[in-house]
Amino acid sequence: MISDQSSASPYKVELHVNGHPLTMEVYTGAGVTLAPESMISPLLSSTLLKKSHTVLKSYTGQEIPVKGSLSVSVDYGGQHYKDLKLLVVEGSGPSLMGRDWLRVVKLNWKMIGKIASSEGTAESHMSALQDKYQEVRWRPFHPTRLS
């Protein structure tokens, strides 16, 4: 088993949902996109919450109560999307961009990878590793064909 004692910061993306700014964590472990009711209260005043029969469970098997769903418009990086489904859940966790939106919204992955966190950028981490392991000869990987 490989373990990393440091906690990696989640990748986050800034979107406008129904005209309101919303920060979401990019989470490929979720099949659906969700947000806690407390984070999207501005959206709820102008949009009706639809009943949802979706059952969500955490990776530990705990059920996550679903309040309902919204059909929202999303703006990101000059792109506009209509009628994306957003599940509204109870609690105070983060908003998660799941695989359903990731299939549609074309994220700028180069910019997401450069978002600075309290631990620094991905480039600074790589530079620190290269400095720490100077004796390792860093070279690009080129696969060879086996004949």
CATH number, residue 58: 2.40.70.10
Residue 69 lies inside a defined structural domain of this protein:
yes
β-partners of residue 25 are: 12, 96
Count of the separate structural domains present in the chain: 1
The pLDDT of residue 1 is above 60 = no
What are the tens digits of pLDDT across the range 120-139? 555 666 667 667 776 666 56
The overall pTM is greater than 0.85: no
The answer to whether 33 and 100 are in contact (CB under 8 A) is yes
Domain hosting residue 41, numbered range: 12-106
